[in-house]
Structure 1
C-alpha cells in the first residue's frame, strides 16, 4: 500500500517554480529565492529533498556564479560528481552550454519570468509536472503528493482508506481553486465538499492527524478569503468552527509546532474579529481570554522550535566533527575556487534511501521559521496589552516579560545567525561578488518585506506598547513615554533610510512610528491627571501637539509619491483614516483651554483637513471594495463636517447629516475612547445627525 508523501509548503512552491522554467532556459538559486522571498540556501535545501526527481526539472537551476553545480537527478545513490555530470548533460541536451570548468557560457538563457499569481494558488505537487494543481496560500499546512491517476471517465470508488479521503478532499480543493477567481459561489461549493470529505474521513479514521490538520487549515484559509467568506456567512462563526477543528488536531498531535502555530493564529483572528465587530468594552473580556491563550501557545511553540533548532545544530556539529557532514554536502567533486565552495552549499544534494512507493519529507526548523513565530507572538501581545486597564496590568506581567525576552534577546540572536550565514538573502549574495543578473522585478513584486524586517518592527512596536502600559499605570511620566518612543524607532528609521531604495519596510516603520505617536497622545488624554488644574497640563498639551504634528508629517510622507505607488487602495484608506483622526485630535487640542494662540488660530484649518482626509479614505476604500472601511470613513467625515460647522459659529444642520445618528454613534464611541473627540462634544455631534 502506498504511503502518503508529505512535503512542506515551501518545497512545493520551489517545485512549482521549477515546473514553470521552459526547456532550454535556466534560473539561479538567487532568482528563485527572490521570487519566494527566502534565501538561496533554503532553495538548495528544498532541491536536496526532491522526492520526484527526475520528473521535477531541478537541473534547470544553477548557482548564482554560473557554475553548473550538482542536483538531485536520480533515485539511486550516486557520487556527487556523477550527479553534476548528468545535470550538465541534461542541460546541454536542452541547448544550455557550459565551459570546460562547468560555468555557463551564454547568459541569455537565464530566465526569471515566474508567474507569481499562479504560485499563490498551489495546493500540492503531484509527480507529473503537467498535473500541478493550485491553492490559496494560508497558514502552515501539511500537503500531500500523490501519484498521477490514469486517464478515463470511470467513476472513482468511494474512499475507504485514510489516503483515499485525503486524495478525494484534495481533488475538491483543486476544483475549487480553479473557480476561486471567476465564480466564488461555485468554488465555495467545492470547498464545502472538501470539508465534508474530511469530516467523513475523520469518522472512519478518527485518529488521522493528517485529515484533521488539512481540514482545520482549509477552514482557516477560507475565513481569510474575502471572495469566499460572503458565501459562508459569519466570519466569527466560521472562526469558532475552525478553532474547534484546530483543537481536535492538537489533541491528536500536541507537540506538532505547525498546528500549534496555526491554532494561535486562529485564536488571534477570532479575538480581533470580535473587537472589530463590537464595541471595545463589550468585546474586551472574550478577546482577552482568546489572546491570553494565543500568547501562551505562541510562547510554547517558540520554545519548542528553539529546542528543535538547537538539537539540529548539535547533530550537524557532531556530523561535521566526524566528517560525515562534509561528505554529504560536497561529495567527491573538485572545487576550483572559494565561491564554488559557497555555491556547493546551495546546489549539492543527497539522495533518498530508495525508490519505494512513497517517502516522507520534513522541513527542519530554521531561524526564519522561528522569527515568524516571534513576530506572531509579539503581535498578539501588543493587542492583548491594549485590552488591560492599569489595575489589571500586574496579571499580565509574566507574559510581558516573555515578550521582552523575545524582543530584546531572541530576535537579535536569530538575526545574528541569519546575518552570519554566507547566503542570508539573495540581495546580500549579489553584493558579495560577481553574479548573474536576470532582470528587474516589478514594483508590485518588490513591495514585500522579509521575516527579519517584520520581526524587527514587531519588537519595536512591542517595546512602544510596554512604554504605553508603563505610563498608563503611573510607572513613568508622559515625557519618559515620549522619549522611549523616539529611542525605540530612531535606529530602525535611520537604518531603513540608509538603504539604496527605501520600500515597504520603510513605509511600515514610519507608519508604526506614527501610530505610536498617536497612541502617546491618546494615553495622555486618558490620564486621570489630565485636567486644567494639573501642574503638568500645559506640558502634556505640548507633548500631544508635537506628537500629533510629527505623526501627520510622517503619514503624509508615506501616503505620497513615490511611496504611495507601493501601497494598495486598502492600505491607503487606513492611512488616510489615521490622517483624519490625527487632524481631528489636533482640533480638540486647539479648542482646549490653555492651548497656544497659534493652535487656536489653526482650528478651522485642521478640522477642514480632517474632513478632506476622511473623504480620501472613503474613496480609497471604495476602490478597494472595503465596504466596512468605507462606512467608517463616511461616518467620520460627517463628524468632521459637524465640528467644522459648529467651530465656524453656525448651527445649520445639513440635509446629508439627517438620519445618520446610528452610523455616527458607531464611530463616535471609539473616537471618544481614543481621545480624538472630547466626550462633552460627542452628544452635540449626535444631535446634529438625528
Structure 2
C-alpha cells in the first residue's frame, strides 16, 4: 500500500475571518477559502472525467461549503470509512479527493503536497478490487494514470523517500499487471527495473536519514550537571502575574472563537519498520522481474542475485530487530530464491533436479509452515511454477514423477491452508486447488500417460469440480465477481471433461467473450488441451 497522507488534521481555536481566495498551496490545503461542491447525492461527474482529465465537467447544481471541512483529506477519510461497506460511495469520496487535489494543482502547479496526494489516492484506488470495479478503464489503464501522476510528483521533489517508495510501488503493480495479462512484457521488464532503482535510491536516503536522526538525538546530561537553574523563591513574581493575566485574556477570547481545523505537513521519523518495508518491496519487484529474464537478459539476473544477496544476508537481519517481521521477511526471501531458481533453470544454469532441490530446501527452512496459510500458498504456487517451467523447458518423460509428487505437495499445502482460521482469499485458494487437480489429471492423458495420474483420473476431475464450486461459493459470498466467473467457467471445463459439456456450452452462449478469455487462460496454464476443447467440450 502507498505511504500515508502528507497531511494530518489538528484542531485549533481561531477567530472568524472573512473568506479569501488562497494565495499559496498551503492555504489551499488548509481550506482557507470557499469552494462550490455539489451535494453528495447530486454529484453528476463521471468517474472517468475526474480520474483521467484535468477539467471537471460543469455541474448543474452547486452548494457552497466551507472547504476547511471538505478538503481532499476529508474526502479520503470518508472514502476509507465507507470502503468496506459501500464500494460505490467510497469510490465517489476518493474521486472527490482527487478532484480537490487536481483543482489545487491547476492553481499551484508546483505544489508537491497536492501532486503527491493526488498520485497516492489514484494508486490506492487500484489496490481494492471492489473500488476498481466502480471505475472506467482497465486496471492497467488506471495504474498508468497513477504512474504519470507519481512521476510528476517525483519531478517536484526527487529526494522524498515517500514519493520514491510510492512510485516504485506503482511501477511494480503495473509491471505485475502486464505479466498477469501476458502482454507488453518488454515494457514490464523496464518498469520493474525502474522500480528496483527507485527502491534502491529510497533505501539509501532512508538509511542516511535514520543515521542523522540518531546523531540529532539529545544526549542526557549527567545528574546535577547542566540542569536548568531553579527559580529563586524570593525573586519578584511580576512575570508569573503577567502570564496569569495573559492566560485569562486568552480564555476570554477562546469563548468568542469558533473551532476550526488546520492541516499541517507531517514528516515521519525513519524506523526499522520503514526500512523493512522498502527492502521487502524491492524483493517483491525483484521476484517478478526474475520471471521475465531470458537468456538474452542474464545480466539483469546476475545483478538481481548480487544485489539481493547483500540485502537479505546483511541488511535485513539488522533492520528486522524489534519489528516482529522475521517470518514475513523470511518468506519474501524464499519466494525470491524460488524465482531465481526458476530463472536459472529456464536459462540452462540449473538442471531440473537442482531446481527441485532448491525449492524444496528453501521452504524446508521456513519454521512452522503448516500454521501459516500465506507460506503454504506460496509453496503451492512455487511448485505450480516448477511444473509449468519443466513442461516447457525439459524432456517431460524424465520429470513425470517429480511433477506428480510436487503437484501433490501443492494440493496438500492448499488444502491445509484452507482449513486454517487465519486463511484469507479462500476463493483464490479453492481456485488453485481446482487448477492443481486438473494439472495432475493432464499428466495421465496422452502422450504423457503417467500411471498414477491415469488410474486416478476420475477422482482428480471430481475433486476439481468440488474445489471450483467451493471457489464460486466463496467468491459470491465475498462479492468477487471476477473470481466467481473464473470458478464457474473452470468448473464447467472440469465437468465437461467428465462427460457433461452442457454448462460450458451454455456459458459460451450467454457470456461468450468472458468465457473465451478464461478458456484461453486455461489453455496457457496447461489445464486443458486444444483437443479437449474441440473434441470433448465442443468449443472451437
Superposition TM-score tier, normalisation by shorter sequence:
0.7 to 0.9
Is residue 628 from structure 1 mapped to residue 482 from structure 2 by the alignment? Answer: yes
Shift in alpha-carbon separation, 1:600–1:218, aligned structure 2, 3 A: closer
Shift in alpha-carbon separation, 1:249–1:612, aligned structure 2, 3 A: same
**Aligned with residue 303 of structure 2, among 371, 389, 398:** 398
Whether contact under 8 Å (1:175, 1:187) holds in the other structure is no
Provide TM-score, normalisation by structure 1: 0.61
Could you tell me how far apart the structure 1 residues matched to 2:189 and 2:22 are? 42
Structure 2 residue matching 1:220: 3-state secondary structure: helix
- Cα shift at 1:621: 1.0
**Aligned with residue 548 of structure 1, among 394, 407, 425:** 407
Whether contact under 8 Å (2:341, 2:359) holds in the other structure is yes
Could you tell me how far apart the structure 1 residues matched to 2:75 and 2:300 are? 49
Whether contact under 8 Å (2:192, 2:289) holds in the other structure is yes
2:333 corresponds to = 459
2:3 corresponds to = 139
1:649 corresponds to = none
Describe how 1:136-215 pairs up with structure 2 within 5 A: 138-148=2-12, 156-168=19-31, 171-172=70-71, 173-175=73-75, 177-178=77-78, 181=82, 185=88, 187-215=90-118
Is residue 482 from structure 1 mapped to residue 356 from structure 2 by the alignment? Answer: yes
Could you tell me how far apart the structure 1 residues matched to 2:432 and 2:221 are? 54
Q: Deviations over 1:352-402 (max 9, x none)?
A: xxxxx9997633222211111111111112122223334433344323432
Shift in alpha-carbon separation, 1:679–1:305, aligned structure 2, 3 A: farther
**Aligned with residue 583 of structure 1, among 437, 450, 468:** 437
- Cα shift at 1:188: 4.4
Shift in alpha-carbon separation, 1:472–1:214, aligned structure 2, 3 A: same
Whether contact under 8 Å (1:213, 1:246) holds in the other structure is yes
- Cα shift at 1:226: 4.1
Unmatched runs of 5 consecutive residues or more in structure 1: 1-136, 333-356, 419-423, 426-449, 532-536, 646-651
Q: Deviations over 1:537-586 (max 9, x none)?
A: 24x111101101111111111112xx1x3234xx1111111111111111
Whether contact under 8 Å (1:639, 1:664) holds in the other structure is no
Is residue 530 from structure 1 mapped to residue 395 from structure 2 by the alignment? Answer: yes
1:372 corresponds to = 277
Whether contact under 8 Å (2:2, 2:166) holds in the other structure is no
**Aligned with residue 654 of structure 1, among 483, 495, 502:** 502
Q: Deviations over 1:77-118 (max 9, x none)?
A: xxxxxxxxxxxxxxxxxxxxxxxxxxxxxxxxxxxxxxxxxx
Shift in alpha-carbon separation, 1:151–1:544, aligned structure 2, 3 A: farther
Is residue 671 from structure 1 mapped to residue 515 from structure 2 by the alignment? Answer: no
Shift in alpha-carbon separation, 1:325–1:668, aligned structure 2, 3 A: farther
Could you tell me how far apart the structure 1 residues matched to 2:296 and 2:513 are? 33
Structure 1 residue matching 2:12: 3-state secondary structure: coil
Shift in alpha-carbon separation, 1:578–1:390, aligned structure 2, 3 A: farther
Describe how 1:270-419 pairs up with structure 2 within 5 A: 270-276=174-180, 278=181, 280=182, 282-313=183-214, 323-324=219-220, 362-415=267-320, 418=321
C-alpha RMSD of the superposition: 3.1
Structure 2 residue matching 1:144: 3-state secondary structure: strand
Unmatched runs of 5 consecutive residues or more in structure 2: 32-66, 229-261
Q: Deviations over 1:322-361 (max 9, x none)?
A: x54888xxx99xxxxxxxxxxxxxxxxxxxxxxxx99976
Shift in alpha-carbon separation, 1:405–1:597, aligned structure 2, 3 A: same
Could you tell me how far apart the structure 1 residues matched to 2:534 and 2:221 are? 73
Q: Deviations over 1:406-446 (max 9, x none)?
A: 2333222323xx1xxxxx26xxxxxxxxxxxxxxxxxxxxx
Whether contact under 8 Å (1:142, 1:214) holds in the other structure is yes
Could you tell me how far apart the structure 2 residues matched to 1:594 and 1:230 are? 42
Provide TM-score, normalisation by structure 2: 0.76
Q: Deviations over 1:106-159 (max 9, x none)?
A: xxxxxxxxxxxxxxxxxxxxxxxxxxxxxxx8533312344436699x985443
Could you tell me how far apart the structure 1 residues matched to 2:90 and 2:14 are? 25
